[in-house]
Amino acid sequence: MNEPRMLVIGSNGQLGTDLCREARRGGYDVREIDYPDIDLADRRSVERRVAESGAAYVINCAAYTAVDDCETNRERAFALNADGPGAVAAAAASIGARMVHISTDYVFDGCKAEPYDENDPPNPQSVYGKSKLAGERNVAASCENHQIFRIAWLYGLHGSNFVFTIRSLAEKNAASGGAITVVNDQFGSPTSTREVCRQVLHVLPTGLAGVFHATCEGWCTWFDFTKEIVAAAGIPVEVRPCTSAEFPRPAPRPKNSILENERLKRAGMAVMTDWKSAFREFLRDEADVGEETCTK
Ligand SMILES: NC(=O)c1ccc[n+]([C@@H]2O[C@H](COP(=O)([O-])OP(=O)(O)OC[C@H]3O[C@@H](n4cnc5c(N)ncnc54)[C@H](OP(=O)(O)O)[C@@H]3O)[C@@H](O)[C@H]2O)c1
């Protein structure tokens, strides 16, 4: 029997790398592509690459993810995060493929006192969030057969992310006897790439369509997550809490980034574990990779 073919766009990114590996393990015939072999800002390149893939599933993990840079590069943010995904979706529709797209908690303003579900109206505050919301809408308008997963606070083995940033900062400051200060008034759910892959691959072959929240269960602040990261790494550094006002950034961050995976739960399709278990699995994966590297 032929394996279903999948095209993963953004295959060298943090999520794309793991999705390619997990999808292969799951029996898919995975075709990888990333910039410059495909350019989301170039509609013709997107159309050509998607058409020649002959894929049954087109998964877009590519994006302009530098949240603060988006504030000063609005045009590029919309080209890559809004128009690009729309072009991918139209190309997927033209070959009869299902379009899967990854979105973000930044589509919300973060003012709600409870977790956001899929029925809550988006109200993005940053250019990044606005461009990602426009991307969701373009995907939905261009390919009826679509699944959009909103994820948040992503980390994985590949690429730069909060875990690696905190570790290197903690090591540096521990060496000089300093502390690290981390915001304690933004709430969200640290979510591993492994868990996102598990959820996406679980839903992919079903007839479910539309927008899904897909983050790890439970929540914490960046300060709480930092304490876990530093303790797991055994770095002797003091971690101090601060407010977002004390740590201003060019792009506003939602205070409440907690997403409820409501639709997946209602459909009996939610498989994501709690954030602490996912983080322990990430540490085990990291140790395994380290061992493989050492024995080579
Ligand atoms: N990271 C998070 O915390 C987070 C949170 C919520 C949602 N998300 C969403 O999750 C998805 C995956 O994020 P990630 O962290 O895996 O992103 P990432 O590591 O930044 O990967 C993005 C990929 O897109 C590629 N890319 C950039 N410009 C491109 C272009 N013009 N044409 C084609 N490809 C291009 C990048 O290639 P280069 O490396 O060559 O630029 C990279 O391989 C994105 O949709 C993001 O918005 C992420």
By residue range, what is the domain housing residue 111?
5-162+189-219+257-295
Lowest mean pLDDT among 74-83, 256-265, 281-290: 281-290
Tell me whether residue 113 is in a domain.
Answer: yes
Of 61, 2, 110, 21, the closest CA to residue 288 belongs to: 21
Residue 18 lies in a domain: yes
Q: Which residue has the higher pLDDT, 88 or 1?
A: 88
159: alpha, beta or left? (left if phi > 0; alpha if psi -120 to 50): left
Quote the ligand 1 centre to 234 CA distance (angstroms).
Answer: 30
In a domain, residue 182? The reply is: no
pLDDT at 99: 98
Quote the percentage of the chain above a pLDDT of 90: 94
Q: How far is the CA of 236 from the centre of ligand 1 (A)?
A: 33
Per the structure, the count of domains in the chain is 1
| Stretch 113-139: mean pLDDT | 98
Token duo for residue 22: 């997990």
Compute the average pLDDT of residues 242-258.
95
Both tokens of 294, joined, read 């050492």
How confident is the model at residue 290, as a pLDDT?
77
| β-strand pairing of 146-151 with 98-104 | parallel
Residue 230 resides in a domain: no
3-state DSSP assignment of residue 254: coil
Could you tell me if 117 and 262 are in contact, meaning their C-beta atoms sit under 8 angstroms apart?
Answer: yes
Assign 140 to helix, strand or coil: helix
Which pLDDT does position 178 carry in this prediction?
Answer: 87
Ligand 1 atom with least separation from CA of 132: 47
Residue 286 in any domain: the answer is yes
pLDDT per residue as tens digits for the range 279-296: 999 999 999 987 766 554
- Nearest-atom number in ligand 1 for the CA of 106 is 6
pTM (whole model) above 0.95: yes
Q: Is residue 195 part of a domain?
A: yes
Q: Which atom of ligand 1 is nearest to the CA of 12?
A: 43
Q: Tens of pLDDT along 8-28?
A: 999 999 999 999 999 999 999
Please give the positions annotated as active site: 128
CATH number of the domain residue 147 falls in: 3.40.50.720
Q: Which CB contacts under 8 angstroms, 24+ apart, belong to 66-73? A: 67/106, 67/126, 67/128, 67/251, 68/249, 68/250, 68/251, 70/126, 70/127, 70/128, 70/131, 70/251, 71/126, 71/127, 71/128, 71/250, 71/251, 72/250, 73/127
Q: Within a domain: residue 181?
A: no
Q: In this predicted model, what pLDDT tens digit does every residue of 138-186 receive, in sequence order?
A: 999 999 999 999 999 999 999 899 999 999 999 999 988 889 999 999 9
Q: How far apart are CA 72 and CA 49, in angstroms?
A: 30
Mean pLDDT for all residues in the chain: 96
Residue among 7, 15, 153 to mutate when testing ligand 1 (max atoms within 8 A of CB): 15
Q: What is the pLDDT of residue 1?
A: 58
